[in-house]
Amino acid sequence: MASFVLYLSATVLFAQSTVAFDCSKPPVYVDIHKRAVHGTDVFQYGSFIGVGSPAQNQSLWPSISQNHTSFAASDYCDSSNTTLKDCPISTRGNFDRDLSQSFRENKDFKALDKNRNETFDGIFGQDDIHLYTHYFETDGASQTLVTNSTIEVAQSGKISPGIVGMGQASTLLRDLADRGMIAGRTYSLYIGQGFPRAGGAVNGSNTFGGYDAGRFKGPVHKYPMKISNVNAMSVRVKDIVITDSKSPNSNVSLFDAQKFNMKSRPENFEAELTTDQYPLSLPYQITQNFMSHFGAEVQEDKDDPWQDQSLKLKNPFNGTLSIVLDDDFVITLPPEVLMNASNITPIQKRDENDTRPFYLSSAFLGQVYLMADYDSYTFFLAQAVQKNNAVMPTTFCPKAVPEAYEGPKQSAWVQQGLIGAVIGGILGGMGIAICGYCLFLGLKRRRAEKKLEKEMAALEKGKSAKFVQMEVDDSPEFDPPPKTATPFFWKKR
């Protein structure tokens, strides 16, 4: 009830607010992939963000609950209170404040992250944050500089503290929006699967004040935020179905009372979205059903390198696990995610009397694109496009509904003579955003041309080392942009 009241009052407040959003502002796009970071020569997966001046580059993990953007102090691993495993190569970079000319400690700062559960301790201060956009291998990164932003410097703790805090009170998002650098407090995330625990290759992205229209497909599904929760984004799960790839008619529902000898079908349950852990945490009974169906077991602590209590299947299983939300949105974990080569699943052990929330975590977010609107406390989910051939950052105006880019093959509209209606609709709804785009593109192109010349000169001298940050894959199935849709920015992968 309390949460409902809070939600309602926030909605009313918002409805009454007269803030005008400048939706001509292009978004800020920041890649998530493995790269070199300050403080270690081991590449780390995360968002390409630097801190201080001169910039010390990091690979920050995105959190949708933490409000502060935090960096490991250069002596984080030396602290006797730090218990992070493989600490020197796991902090996602580190920050030596003595090397930054712009760092100012702020001893009076009151932390916004009161519900972080003692994951790490740090000090607060102001410094410059560099958001890097890196589209082309042949194009250097361009930066969006956020000067004098609040940062937390972690001094000791249990987890990897290199985090870009995108919770509902995110100081970074607030700075970007308040300073008119983006359209509003909107943010989109594809977490990707290129990090060690996921064991995949697909990279992710953050889009501040926007979304990547090429990163998702199909309809977008809309949900209200629950701002009284630490994880403000949650959904209701009504079914979980296991399907064997070899016999698609063999669906088994983990909610099936008869099959699993339950008195009645379990109720829908609420699950919070989080990037704070990889495996999903499902209700006890559902987890038991999963275990009994597969003969799955809890790993011994010594065999569980991530200490995340992921279940291990007795025998290999080539099939999928589909999560059905109460609005009928179905998210399917493919075979290679449901089980890796050592039979490890992304489903966590759950104790009978565990009262913590249920989580749809990074394993789930590897399959969906998340678009959050913290100005209207709404978020959207859509099916992620795993291998996208184009990056299309699009302004996400607060209160607007994101739209996936439809590839040129979908020309049914043209065939049906509806092109006028579509263009009219797009211009009506997205005109402003598209104009912002043109400007963005103009700038981007000019910059890219100049950079390209420089890079080519460097290449001739044999200095190709800096080109390793992104791969170019001459994928034959690459769809060129439709000539009528030139505002879109294309990236060949």
Q: Which residues here bind ligand NAG, judged by CB under 6 A?
A: 33-34, 50, 55, 57, 65-67, 80-81, 112-117, 121, 126, 132, 141, 148, 167-169, 194, 197, 199, 201-203, 230, 241, 243, 245-246, 249, 251, 305-306, 318, 322, 324, 330, 335, 340-342, 344, 352-353, 356, 469-471, 493
Q: Which is nearer to ligand NAG, 160 or 395 (CB)?
A: 160
d(CA 281, CA 347): 6
Q: Which is nearer to ligand NAG, 244 or 403 (CB)?
A: 244
Angstrom CA distances, 393 to 166, 362, 390, 410, 481, stand at: 18, 22, 10, 20, 14
Q: Which is nearer to ligand NAG, 399 or 493 (CB)?
A: 493
Q: Which is nearer to ligand NAG, 4 or 416 (CB)?
A: 4
d(CA 457, CA 378): 48
Shortest distance, position 462 Cβ to ligand NAG, whole Å? 19
Shortest distance, position 483 Cβ to ligand NAG, whole Å? 26
d(CA 360, CA 347): 10
d(CA 125, CA 106): 4
Q: Which is nearer to ligand NAG, 26 or 39 (CB)?
A: 39
3-state SS, residue 298: strand
Distance of CA 21 to the CA centre of its chain: 24
Shortest distance, position 213 Cβ to ligand NAG, whole Å? 18
Residue 154 is given by DSSP the state E
Shortest distance, position 88 Cβ to ligand NAG, whole Å? 18
3-state SS, residue 182: coil
Residue 432 φ/ψ, nearest 5 degrees: -65, -45
Q: Which is nearer to ligand NAG, 230 or 404 (CB)?
A: 230
Shortest distance, position 416 Cβ to ligand NAG, whole Å? 28
d(CA 284, CA 488): 46
**CA dihedral in degrees (147, 468, 37, 167; nearest 10)?**
60
Q: Which is nearer to ligand NAG, 18 or 80 (CB)?
A: 80
Shortest distance, position 370 Cβ to ligand NAG, whole Å? 17
d(CA 397, CA 21): 7
d(CA 141, CA 380): 29
Shortest distance, position 242 Cβ to ligand NAG, whole Å? 9
3-state SS, residue 4: helix
